[in-house]
Structure formats: structure tokens, C-alpha cells
Chains A and B, each alone.
Chain A
Amino acid sequence: MTTRSPILSLRGIQKSYGPVKVLHGVDLDIHPGEVVALLGENGAGKSTLSNIISGTVQPSAGEMTWLGKPYAPANPRAAMDEGVGMIHQELKLLPKLSIAENVFVGRYPMKAGRIDRKAMEERARSGLKRLGLDISPDRLVEGLSTGKQQLIEIAKALTLNARLLILDEPTAALGGEETQLLFQQIERLKADGVGIVYISHRLEEIRQIADRIVVMRDGAKVQEFDSGDVPVRTIVEAMVGRSLERMFPTLPAPTDEVTLEVRNLSSPSNTFRNISFSVRKGEVFGIAGLMGAGRTELVRAITGADPISGGEVLLRGKAVTPRSPIDAIRNGIVLVPEDRKLQGVVLEHSIAENIGYANLGEISRNGWLSSRRIREFAEDYITRFGVKGRGGQNAGELSGGNQQKVVLAKWLARKPQVVVLDEPTRGIDVGARSSIYDLIMDLARAGVAVIVVSSDLEEVLGVSSRIMVMAQGRQAGILDRADANDVSVMELATI
């Protein structure tokens, strides 16, 4: 361990929201030039802790020392001025502004009382170049891929000349190449003496990047490793507080009966074309591919969310090509969408209402219903799916895993025949992931045809009995479980 004095020291940091204590006295030191991986399940307190460091949230008790001086930022701006850069999990870019404007928003370089656009663009360009991004800083953010937007966020922090950088799930939306680029930058920042707090659910990359690992659970620091090279299982066990028997549950054997068949399906915007496959009753069918391969567009079309320009969808041999989500739902084909917060749940509404929205027809009698009936209906599913929350609680207060369970619950109440899950565990922590996998297997066991789209190769390999690989909108091949491994899938995905 380094003997240099830390950039930032936290001592006995506590945070309570009313009677709820979310941090129970956390001690943490971050030294110059080291990457501290902050790990833990959702709700473990990682985000609160990083929000305290970045001045977004004020601690209820405890003290912080920044370069030997007391540190208590009143707001994010104050933290930024000290040299703390925070990159949020949710992108906070303004889509209608240019990249350069986004990088410098709120602190535009000035010259003679006017914004010095030239300097701004110059500095933005150099920031982008440092990340190996070859895009013009004049370009609007709108339309850039999530991965690129993430890198712009990082470029933004780089231009701050931060001494401490907090990265909250920076690679969640990045492809392998972009991730490596980011890691190179982190190495360079380390060499410059920048301290880095790295929050991620991708435990495999921790070994590659972290110098130290701090594991949090239930608002407290539970374990610290003085090296990044710790077996994933050991970390996971520390995170969930129990030893893990297995990561993926055993797959039930599918029947021979074909539930869903897709024939020559194409999209009007050409994001996918001529896709044909079938999913059997009780089968979990995986769809893998790189970002932009057309996976999300394909499953959205199958579930009626996006238009179809050619081909058909058959349910047990009957053509049911949907024209709207209503069509698909009526036929028992439902989607658990990629973006929970924008497409899955209404964040400001209660869990019960969220479950209710997909089932108002069933809950109401002759069109009449009441909040109490919605609550009673939902309560049953809340307990059955182990959603940690009360029916009256807003969905926005739940962790990602619990939100996902709410989305699943709202569909399963309709007893669907085909359930499509798009990135079912994105942004969900490891402990909660296995409960999502368990739910997927329960579905298959109950005879549902399940389609799982995932960018997480290990996940798609772990839960699927067959995997279709897509590449640039084409169907590159379908692999049986026995033949599928990371190499065979990646080969197909990159041809």
C-alpha cells in the first residue's frame, strides 16, 4: 500500500434520511494514483457515499479531509472547484447542444465577456483526442451512441483537471474496445497522480483496473482487499454476505412444442432484416451481438413496440404479427424493455399502480376499479416476486433489481406465453441478478417461451439453451448450448 498521504479521507461518514440510516459510519482513504473499486449491491450505499464526496448529498455525521484540510462541499460546484469530478451512471448530457458545449456547460471559457467558442472547441477537441475519440466537438450530442456519450462525460471530467475522479458504472454501456480505451485513460490519469473511485458491477474488469477493492453492504464497509486480483467469487460472497453455490441456475429442459416462430422479419429502417427463428415452450432463447446489431429493435418489433416492414410472427402456428403493443399483449407476447426508467416503470407512481397499469382490464369490473383493488391485486405479486418495497411506495425509490421485478410482476399477472427480456440485469447488482435468473427459469419451467437479449456474454451463455447471434442487423447464426462459448459467439458477432 502506498505510504503517501491520501487525497481524501473519510471518517465515520453517516447518512440518514429521516429514520432510515443508509450509511453507518464509513471510513475510506483514497491515495493519489490509485484506483479504488467501490463494490456492493444496489442499496449498499455506494451511490450515497459517492454523492457525499461529490457534494450532491451532505452527510449527517462524520468528517472528510481533502489534502489535509477539512472538506465539506455544500454543492457539486464546490466539490468540482476542489477538484472532484463525478461521472454519473445516468448520462447527464444535453442532447440539443454540441459536444463542446456539453463539455464546458456552466464553466464556458470566457474572453472579453463573451464565450470563447474557439478555445472551447479546441479544449474539447483535445479532451476527445485524449480518449481516442475522433468526433468533431461541433457535433450535437443527440444521435451519438450511449458508449460515445459516456466517453464524452469522461472527457468532460478530464477537462476539469480533477484530482479525484468518481466513475459510477462507466462501462455499463461501453463495448469491449471502448472499455479498453477508457482503461488506458485511467492508467494515464493514475500516472498523473489522480485518485479514482471506480464503481462497477462488471467484476471481471475490476481485476484489470483496481488497485484496491472496498466492498460495502447495507451502508457499511464490510471488507477491503489490498489488491485488485481477487477471485470474482470471493468478491461476490463479500457483497452478498453469503457464500454462493452457483451464479446461474440450472436450465429446465424445453419441450418439443414450438410456441413462437419468427419468419423473415425485417424492419422498415433496416436495423434488422430476414430474421427467422423459433422458440419452444419452456425454452430460454438467447440473443447475443454487439451494440448496434439490431437485437433491441428486433425484440421490440416482435412485441409490437416498433413497426415491422416484412415477415411474420407466428404463435403456435397462427400468424399474429403485431402492429402495436396492445396486439402483442393480447396474444400473450410481452416485453420487459431495455430501459426500465424510461420504458418499464413510471418512477413517480407507486409500485401497485405500476403493476396495475398493465392489468387494469383484469382488475376492473365493468370498467370500475379502486385504488384499494389495485393495491390488493399488486400486493400478491409484490410478495410472490420478493419485491423489497410496499405497494404504496414510489417505483423510483426502488433499486434497479426491484424495479425489474415490478416490471416482470406486471406482465406475469397476465400469464403470458412469450416473455421477452431485453438486458434484464443491466445496472442490477450481482446478488439481485441471480434472483432475476431464478425468475427467468421459473418462467421457462412454467412453460413460457423466454427470449433473453443481453450484451453480457456470460449471462447469455449462462441462461440460454440456444443462442442466436446477430451482427449488423443480420442473423449470423444460432448456436446450441453445447457449442456456444464466448469464442464461438464473438466469432459470429464480429463477422
Chain B
Amino acid sequence: MLVAAKEKQGIVGGLLPSLRGATGPLIGLIVLCLFLTFATDKFLSIRNFLNVLDQITVLGVMAVGMTLVILIGGIDLAVGSVMALAMMVLGYLHVVAGVPMGLAIPLALLVASLNGLVAGLLITRFNVPAFIATLAMMSIARGLANMITDGQQIIGFPTWFNMMAIVRFGGFLTLTVAVMVVVFIVGLLYQRYRHGGRVLYAIGGNAEVARLAGINVQRATVLVYVVCSFLAGLAGMVLAARLDSVQPSSGVSYELDAIAAVVIGGTSLSGGTGGIGGTIIGVLIIGVLRNGLNLLSVSPFMQQVIIGAVIVLAVTAETYRKRK
């Protein structure tokens, strides 16, 4: 019976199988939506749904990178700081140095990626534990972000930049949401259908088995940290567009939100299982939860407590299910 269901899922093909293993979080998301539909009169509307999407863009983009890192059994604590650094580089280059946006954005993303490169090399070449390497990068990137303007914010971006986060093309899709959706789809396809994506599961499952199987573990590891930092930078671009300004204190503790989304989505911190499909659900759960709690006028402090409880619930439910 179970076997038949499993095989059937495989035949369905497409992106649906990406959610395999994330059925628990998916059920949680549905239950949450049903609850909010009945508990508030504003929740179930297209307008509110679009709001939720707008609100999760930064977290969504960042969490995809974090998923890849956690999938190989690593961790990246620097993403929040790297995001702030990328934003400040963007602001400095465009507003202060007069570099056109078309060049400033790629350069900001490059700076972000370099952070990941450094972290990745520290981890693979010098055997620094990922936790420590990225903890160091977190501090370094935050310091650099602050140094650019001595802690001041930068404003003065072109109007179209902010419009990316406001104008809804076709009546529903802002460009920033589109960026997130593209990141989701590329991430899902990469993880599931690309050589390089499958390799991550092997590394997370057992790095020594992967190495002996002829997988270039070091290269893949560095690449994953570079991609994660690149996406943190991209999340920074999205946030800059949304805020129409950049400040070095942006993204504090965002790394923890990203880790929370990944974990709620069913990816194991020990690596090797889970994936971006689950993370998308995890991001949606956090987004819907925040939105719903706001609609219910729950205080932001209470919201933190509830989100903490949800993390515990998600992980224990998953562990319990596995044991059965």
C-alpha cells in the first residue's frame, strides 16, 4: 500500500516529487491557512495573499541558499551581514560614486559572493568548522557594511528601483516577487535534476562516502557557500528595492529566520535529507503566520514566542513521524 503510493508519486514527475518528505509541513501550512480563514475576515483575499508574497521575498531568496548549505551538513551564519554589506556596496556605488545601477547591482552581488568564497575556502582548505568560519564572516561583513558610511543609511535610488517592489505587473506580480519565484524554480530544478544538485545529497549524507565515490567534495562545498552568499546579496537587492534605502543594520538575525524556514521545511540540520521544496513551504508558513498574527493583532513579542513554538512543533513532528 505504502510502496504503491511511493511509486505513484515518482511517476507523477515534474516538481511535485520535490515536496516528498515535506508533506508534514505542507499539512501544517494548509491547517494554518484554514484556521486563519475562519479566525479573521481579511486573511482569505487575493490582496492579502499578495501582501504575504511581498513580505516573504527577502526571506525566501535567502532561505534557498541556506537550504543548499544545510543540505551538505553545513551552516551559514553570515547571510544577514552579507546581505547588509551587499546593500551598502550598492548604495555607495550608485549614490555616492555615481556608478549606474546596471553595474552597481552586479558588483554588489559579486562582493556578497566573495564572502561565501572566503567562508568556503576557510572550511575546505583550512578545516575551520562551518559554524566558526561563517560566525567570523558574519562579524567581518557587518563591520565592513558599517565602515562604508560609518553606520549611516543611504538614500537616493532611482524611482524605478523602488517601483520593482511596488508595481504589480499583470495585476499581481511585483518584480521582487518574480525574482523570488525564479530563484525557487531554478533552485528546485537544480537540486532535483542537476548533477551538481544531487551531489549535495551525497555530501550531506556522508562526505567520506561521497569523496571516495569520486565526487569533488571541496569544490561543491565552496560553490554552495558562494551561491548562498550570492543569494543573500540578491535578497539584499530585493530589500533595498522594498525600502528604497540601504542601511548597515539591515538583516540582523535574518540568518536565524532563514535557518528556521529551512528546518520547518523538513531539511535536517545534519544534512543529506530535505530540500528546497520543503523550504518554500517553511518560508510560506513563517510568512502566513506573521501575516495572520498581525491580522489577529498579536504583539510582535508574542509573535516571536509563537514562531519559536512552531519550530519546535515542526521538528518534533518530523522526528516522531520518522520514528514511526
Using CB atoms and an 8 Å cutoff, list the residues of chain A in contact with chain B: 303, 305, 325-326, 329-330, 335, 337, 342-349, 353, 356-358, 360-361, 364, 367-372, 374-375, 390, 392, 410
Contacts and interface: CB of A to CB of B under 8 A. Distances in A.
A330 B196 CA distance: 18
B168 interface: no
B204 to A, nearest CB: 9
B130 to A, nearest CB: 19
B213 to A, nearest CB: 4
B131 to A, nearest CB: 18
B210 interface: yes
A342 B214 contact: no
Given A344-B209, A360-B215, A367-B196, 19 more contacts: A303-B212, A305-B212, A325-B211, A325-B212, A326-B216, A329-B214, A330-B214, A343-B209, A345-B209, A346-B202, A346-B209, A348-B272, A349-B201, A349-B202, A357-B209, A369-B193, A369-B198, A372-B10, A392-B3
A348 B208 contact: no
A368 B193 contact: yes
20 contacts: A325-B211, A325-B213, A325-B214, A326-B214, A326-B215, A337-B212, A345-B209, A346-B209, A346-B210, A353-B198, A364-B194, A367-B195, A367-B196, A370-B13, A370-B192, A370-B193, A372-B10, A372-B13, A375-B10, A392-B6
Interface in B264-286: 272-273
Given A371-B17, A372-B13, A346 B212 contact: no
B28 interface: no
Contacts of A374: 198
A175 B138 CA distance: 50
A360 B272 contact: no
Contacts of B209: 342-346, 357
Contacts of A369: 193-195, 198
Interface residues of B, number: 28
B212 A371 contact: no
A356 B209 CA distance: 12
Interface in B1-46: 3, 6-7, 10, 13, 17
Interface string B170-203: 0000000000000000000000111110110110
Contacts of A370: 13, 192-193
Contacts of B196: 367
A480 B206 CA distance: 39
A404 to B, nearest CB: 14
A410 B195 contact: no
A368 B194 contact: yes
Shortest beta-carbon contacts, A-B, top 10: A346-B205, A329-B214, A358-B213, A357-B202, A346-B206, A364-B195, A367-B195, A357-B213, A326-B214, A349-B205
Looking at B201, B210, B213, B215, the one whose CB has the most chain A CB atoms below 10 A away is B213
B269 to A, nearest CB: 14
B113 to A, nearest CB: 21
Contact of B192 (A360, A371, A392): A371
Most chain B CB within a 10 A radius of its CB, from A348, A356, A372, A375: A348
